[in-house]
Amino acid sequence: MKDMPVLQPEGLLLDTYLPREDTRDAFVSPKVKTLADLPEGAVVGTSSLRRRAQLLNFRPDLNVVEFRGNVQTRLKKLGEGVAECTFLAMAGLHRLDMAHVASSAIAPEDMLPAVAQGAIGIERRASDSRVAEMLSVIHDTPTGQRLAAERAFLAALDGSCETPIAALAELDGNTLRLRGEVLRPDGSESISEDRTAPIEDGAALGREMAKSLLAKAGEGFFDWRS
């Protein structure tokens, strides 16, 4: 779901989600255990604008380079010394039965994940009531509630995987906690908020948080030239 646009083609609907996997990012390095252990000026490989901005905000001394390819390709590049570390989604590693590849999992407090990271959605025809009835059996309500808040946040920011935006919604009883973050692409500035609301107000909370962060960020915040 983290790669799905917030607007669907006419006639299609996303309303079925499987139970959410681990939302955290994985730190992968053959040399050190954690991000904090990286030496000054270390070369870090990632193709994610979000991770790039978060890294440079936390450690502006790092040298971040493009790092593309599937898991095996990225591990091969690490072995060849192209970079000292890279980042993957813990959810993907779990699903590939490769969790051992992660040197450590990064807490959301240190690197807030991408919107909807770790969740799988099923798209259907909006008019197909038979399919809707079948899919309702496997739909995970808590995941849907969490993604409603996160994706509303993303939609209100007019964001995509091409902008440094992060968010994570979590449930505690009848309360939903939403953490959201926007960053300048060069990592020079990060603006974040942490709010709670009743679960049924999750989508509204996402929109309100986005509006607040946009007001704080100002025009041109996501511009590479700013």
Q: What angle do CA 221, 145, 173 make, to 5 degrees?
A: 110
0.85 cut: is pTM over it? Answer: yes
The candidate with the shortest Cα–Cα distance to 4, out of 145, 114, 149, is 114
Q: What is the pLDDT along the chain (226 residues), one digit of tens a residue?
A: 999 989 899 999 999 999 999 999 999 999 999 999 999 999 999 999 999 999 999 999 999 999 888 888 999 999 999 999 999 999 999 999 999 999 999 999 999 999 999 999 999 999 999 999 999 999 999 999 999 999 999 999 976 556 899 999 999 999 999 999 999 999 999 999 999 999 999 999 999 999 999 999 988 887 754 3
Q: Are 68 and 52 in contact (CB under 8 A)?
A: no
Please enumerate in sequence order all residues whose Cβ is within 8 A of that of 23, keeping only pairs 6 or more positions apart, or say none: 90, 91, 108, 113, 117, 118, 168
**Within this chain, do residues 97 and 143 fall inside the same structural domain, yes or no?**
no
Residue 132: give its domain's CATH number.
Answer: 3.30.160.40
How far apart (Å, rounded) are the C-alpha atoms in residues 170 and 22? Answer: 12
Residues annotated as part of the active site: 3
**Within this chain, do residues 150 and 213 fall inside the same structural domain, yes or no?**
yes
Task: Please state whether 86 falls in left (phi above 0), alpha (psi between -120 and 50) or beta.
Answer: beta
**Among positive and negative, which fits the CA dihedral 213, 44, 95, 1?**
positive
Residue 2 located in a structural domain: no
For the chain, how far is it from start to end, CA to CA, in angstroms?
Answer: 30
Domain containing residue 145: 12-21+116-217
Q: Are 12 and 127 in contact (CB under 8 A)?
A: no
Structural domain ending residue among the three candidates 83, 106, 129: 106
pLDDT of residue 219: 83
Residue 3 located in a structural domain: no
Please enumerate in sequence order all residues whose Cβ is within 8 A of that of 39, keeping only pairs 6 or more positions apart, or say none: none
